[in-house]
Amino acid sequence: MAATRHAASLLAAAAALCAAAAPAAAQDGAAGRIKAQACTVCHGALGLSTTPDAPHLAGQPAIYLSAQLRAYRSGERKHEVMAVMAKPLSDDDIRNLAAWFSSIRVDATPP
């Protein structure tokens, strides 16, 4: 019984070390900024929308932006234009775009 607990403890420790040592997913805001040039028509040069039916992307959390782009890419989320725009994006493209837009600081000023 003690050997089993010891083995389980070692296995848990090894798993924790592997998880901690795993490299972070690529997030290159500079590459995202370049890729985002295609987004400027609707979402503006700095992620601040230029059309009433496109949301601001600047300052949004990267995890949210990534999830939405993946949903458009898969067809889970529907939008005629975004489906076309997201379809060719790689996972790295999505992470880089999310890194760029989430890095833009947006200040809110109450009225």
Q: What is the CATH number of the domain that holds 85?
A: 1.10.760.10
The lowest-confidence range among 1-15, 32-46, 82-96 is 1-15
Tens digit of each residue's pLDDT (9 = 90 or more) over 45-61: 999 998 999 999 999 99
**Whole-model pTM over 0.85:** no
What's the domain count of the chain? 1
CA distance linking residue 82 with residue 55, whole number of Å: 12
The lowest-confidence range among 4-8, 32-36, 43-47, 103-107 is 4-8
Q: 3-state class of 45 per DSSP?
A: coil
Letter string b/e over residues 77-110, b meaning 16 or more CB atoms within 10 A of that residue's CB = eeeeebeebbeebeeebbbbbbbbbbbbeeeeee
Tens digit of each residue's pLDDT (9 = 90 or more) over 79-109: 999 999 999 999 999 999 999 999 999 999 9
Give the residue from 27, 55, 28 showing the smallest Cα distance to 39: 55
Whether the predicted pLDDT of 23 surpasses 80: no
Domain that holds residue 95: 27-103
